[in-house]
A and B are shown apart, each in its own frame.
Chain A
C-alpha cells in the first residue's frame, strides 16, 4: 500500500484533521508491505507486488527457500517482458487486474495487503475454481485442453520459476549434471528430493 493511497483511504485528503500520532500509527500499519526493491521490466509496481505476494503465498519460505528467496517474481517479470508476445502480455495483465479486483470485492484490499487468513481464503477458492493441465507426452499435452484459469497458470509459472532457479536447482533439489549411468530402480532415500534436471 503506498502512502498516497493510505492517506486517501483514511480520509486525510478529504480534509479531516487527524492528530499526528494517529497518522503515524496509520502509516505504521503499512509497514508489512514495503516498497518494491527491484525495478520491473514489464509489471507496474502494483502488479509486481501482486506477482511477488502470490508466488510467496504459494511457495513461502520454510526451512527451504521460498519463491521470493530465489527471485521467482523477477524471473516472471523478465519472461513477460521478453518471451510473451503483445497479445499474451495483455492477457496476463488483464488476468492480474481481474484477480486483484476479485480480492478487492471479497476482502476490500489488494492481495498483497491481505492478512494470512484472507490470503488463504482467496487461494482456497482459486484452487477449487481452477481447472488442471492435461498431462503431456514429449512436450505436447494430450487431448483437448480446457482453459485452466489464471491461478493454475500462475501457479505453474511460479513452480517453474522456483524449480529452475540456480539456488533450488543446485542446492535444494538433487543436482547431478553428469549422471554417467542410468539406474532404473533405486530407493528414493538415496536421492532425497526430486532431481533438479
Chain B
C-alpha cells in the first residue's frame, strides 16, 4: 500500500495543511481530500502503514523474550508514560519517547503522547459516546467557563455522519443525557454482568448498565472486517476492526489522490501574514535532519492533540499576535481539563463457577450519568456528573498468586479459571478553570531546540466532591448487587491519567473570552481551524473522541464552503 508520497519536499504549496494524523487529523484529511483539496498532512513521527507496520499484531506471549516486560532502557524512554500502566513490549513502539520530548510538571500531570502516523488512534480505548445538551449547556447553566457556541442540534447530523463511516457498536436506549448513535449490533454482556445489570437496575430505577458503545465493528463495513475478539488492539488491528486513522480515514483520504503525508515533520509554528491578516503556512523542523522548511496553504487544520496544538499556537508569534496565534483573549493555554480516573469499587461474585466466556472482548460495561440530569437527581455537593466503565471476568494469574497454596494440588487448581470479579470505575467531569494551564517553557528545550510545555493543572473541590460520590455510589451499587469482598478505591491520580486532555484553545461566542468561534476557526485568523481536544469548552463526563470527529467533519465542510466563497 504505497500510496503516500513521502517525497514531499519538492512541492511546498497545498490547498490545505493538517497538523497531526490522529483521530481528528485523519478526519480532517479525509474530509478535505474528498472535497477536492490538495492536502498535506504533517506528522511528527514515522509512517505507520495499516497492517504492514504492526510488527507485534500476531505475537503470542512466548514469542517475546521478556513477554510484556520492558528493558531498563525502554523504561527510561517512557519514564513518564509508564505511570499509566498501559505500556508493554507489544505496544511500546506506539508511545512517544519521553526523553526526547520532555515536559515540566509544575503540578503532577501525566501526558501520554503517540508520535506516529495515526497518533493515539492506534492506542485509544474506543469508547464512543455522543454528548448531549446536558453537556453543551452546562457552562451556561452553572456559570463555570464560557458558553459553548453550539448546541446538540448543531452537531447531531455530524455525529451520524462520522458514526456511519467509523462504525460504532452499541445498544440504543433513548436516554436524553446519552443520545443514541447510529449503531452496529452491540457486543454481548457476560453472565455476571447480566446479573449485576439486573440487580442494579431494579435497585435504582433510572440507572442503566449497558454494554460499552465502542468504535469496533461487529459487522463488516467498507471492506473492513469485524472484530475477531483477540483484544490486541493497541498493537494495530490486522482486520481494521477498530477505528484508527491508519485503517479508516487516511486510506479514504489517500484514495482521492489528493493526500500527501509528510512524516518526521514537527510543526514548529504557523506563519501569520500581518499584511494579509491570515495564516499563510506552517514552519516545520524535519525531525531526522533538523532542517527547517515552510509549507504554504490556504487553510490550516490544527490536530496535533490538545496540548501540542496549543504549544504550536503559543509558539506562533507575530506582530499581530505577540502572545501566540489567536490569543487576543489571553485564554490560549488556559482551561485545561481531563476526566478524573480510577475511583470506584470492585468485588467478587459468588456462584457462576460453572460459567465462563469465550473470546476476549475489547469492551466493558457502561453506567451512564444519573446525577444532576434533572431536578430530582440534583446534588447539593457538586455540579456536573460522572459515568462508570467496568466489567466482569474470572480472575487472572495475579489472583492465582494471591490464593494460598503451593504444590501439585494447588497447581492443578489454578489451571482452572479463578473466581468471578466485577469492577466499576468512574469518570467525572472536570470544570474549566482559567488557572489550569500550559505555558511555553523556554528554559527547558527539546531535542530540536524548541520550547517545551510547562503544565500547571490540578483537580479542585468540585472534582473531589464528585470523586467522593463516585466511590460511595460504586461501593453501594456493588453491595446492592450482592457482591462480596468489596473494596472501594480512589487512587488519587493527577490529571492526565484519563488521557482525555481537553481545552486550552476553547470555542466560544465572544472573541474576548475564547480562542475559537462556533466553527472552530481561530478568532483573528479565520483560515486556521482547531478541531482536536484543544477546542473543548467543557469536558462532559463521557469520552470525547467521537465529538472531535464530528466537530472536525463539521469544520472541514465549513472551511471548504468558505473557501469556495473566497471568505478565507
Interface on A for B, CB 8 Å cutoff? 57-62, 64, 66, 75, 78-79, 82-86, 120, 123, 127, 132-140, 142-143, 152, 155-156, 159-160, 163-166, 169-170, 172-173, 176-191, 193-195, 197
Chain B residue with the shortest CB-CB distance to A165: B62
* B357 in complex: contacting residue of A66, A159, A173, A184, CB < 8 Å: A184
Interface size class of B (residues with CB under 8 A): 35 or more
> Contacts A156-B401, A184-B357: A82 and B65 contacting too (C-beta < 8 A)?
yes
Shortest 10 CB-CB contacts between residues of A and residues of B: A139-B85, A182-B359, A184-B190, A156-B401, A142-B489, A179-B359, A166-B62, A185-B191, A140-B85, A83-B69
Measured CA separation A79–B69 after assembly (Å): 8
Task: Report yes or no: A135 in contact with B346, Cβ–Cβ below 8 A.
Answer: yes
* A185 in complex: contacting residue of B85, B194, B491, CB < 8 Å: B194
- Chain B residues within 8 Å of A85, by CB: 72, 75
Q: B115 in the interface, Cβ–Cβ < 8 Å?
A: no
Task: Report yes or no: B414 in contact with A159, Cβ–Cβ below 8 A.
Answer: yes
Known pairs A135-B423, A184-B191 / 12 extra A-B pairs, C-beta < 8 Å: A57-B406, A127-B406, A138-B85, A142-B342, A142-B489, A155-B401, A155-B406, A164-B61, A177-B230, A188-B355, A193-B416, A194-B418
Within 8 A of A (CB), among B151-192: 187-191
Task: Report yes or no: A187 in contact with B355, Cβ–Cβ below 8 A.
Answer: yes
* B66 in complex: contacting residue of A66, A78, A142, A173, CB < 8 Å: A78
Task: Report yes or no: A79 in contact with B85, Cβ–Cβ below 8 A.
Answer: no
> Contacts A84-B72, A165-B62, A179-B359: A143 and B487 contacting too (C-beta < 8 A)?
yes
> Contacts A58-B406, A66-B411, A159-B400: A181 and B491 contacting too (C-beta < 8 A)?
no
- Chain B residues within 8 Å of A177, by CB: 58, 60, 230
> Contacts A166-B62, A197-B360: A185 and B355 contacting too (C-beta < 8 A)?
yes
Fill in one digit per residue for B277-293: 1 if any A CB lies within 8 Å of its CB, else 0.
Answer: 00000000000000000
Fill in one digit per residue for B80-110: 1 if any A CB lies within 8 Å of its CB, else 0.
Answer: 0000111000000000000000000000000
Chain A residue with the shortest CB-CB distance to B347: A135
Q: B376 in the interface, Cβ–Cβ < 8 Å?
A: no
Q: B447 in the interface, Cβ–Cβ < 8 Å?
A: no
Task: Report yes or no: B66 in contact with A183, Cβ–Cβ below 8 A.
Answer: no
Measured CA separation A168–B84 after assembly (Å): 29
Among A166, A169, A183, the one with the most B-chain Cβ atoms within 10 Å of its Cβ is A183
- Chain B residues within 8 Å of A66, by CB: 411
Q: B358 in the interface, Cβ–Cβ < 8 Å?
A: yes
A-binding segment of B23-31, B391-399, B450-458: B391-399
Interface on B for A, CB 8 Å cutoff? 58, 60-62, 65-67, 69-72, 75, 84-86, 187-191, 193-194, 228-230, 342, 344, 346, 353-361, 394, 397-402, 404-408, 410-412, 414-418, 421, 423, 425, 487, 489, 491
Task: Report yes or no: A135 in contact with B397, Cβ–Cβ below 8 A.
Answer: no
- Chain B residues within 8 Å of A181, by CB: 229, 358-359
Task: Report yes or no: B397 in contact with A163, Cβ–Cβ below 8 A.
Answer: yes
Chain A residue with the shortest CB-CB distance to B83: A140
- Chain A residues within 8 Å of B75, by CB: 85
* 8 sample A-B contacts, Cβ–Cβ < 8 Å, listed by A number: A58-B406, A120-B407, A133-B402, A140-B84, A172-B415, A193-B416, A194-B418, A197-B360
Chain B residue with the shortest CB-CB distance to A123: B406
Task: Report yes or no: B342 in contact with A164, Cβ–Cβ below 8 A.
Answer: no
> Contacts A133-B401, A184-B357: A64 and B415 contacting too (C-beta < 8 A)?
yes
Minimum CB–CB distance from B396 to chain A (whole Å) comes to 8
- Chain A residues within 8 Å of B84, by CB: 139-140
Task: Report yes or no: A137 in contact with B397, Cβ–Cβ below 8 A.
Answer: no
> Contacts A164-B62, A182-B358, A183-B358: A140 and B401 contacting too (C-beta < 8 A)?
no
Task: Report yes or no: B407 in contact with A60, Cβ–Cβ below 8 A.
Answer: yes
Measured CA separation A137–B393 after assembly (Å): 11
Task: Report yes or no: B356 in contact with A191, Cβ–Cβ below 8 A.
Answer: yes
Task: Report yes or no: B354 in contact with A179, Cβ–Cβ below 8 A.
Answer: no
Task: Report yes or no: A179 in contact with B228, Cβ–Cβ below 8 A.
Answer: yes
Task: Report yes or no: A83 in contact with B487, Cβ–Cβ below 8 A.
Answer: no
- Chain B residues within 8 Å of A169, by CB: 60-62
Chain A residue with the shortest CB-CB distance to B62: A166
* A137 in complex: contacting residue of B65, B344, B354, B359, CB < 8 Å: B344
- Chain A residues within 8 Å of B423, by CB: 135, 137
Chain A residue with the shortest CB-CB distance to B75: A85
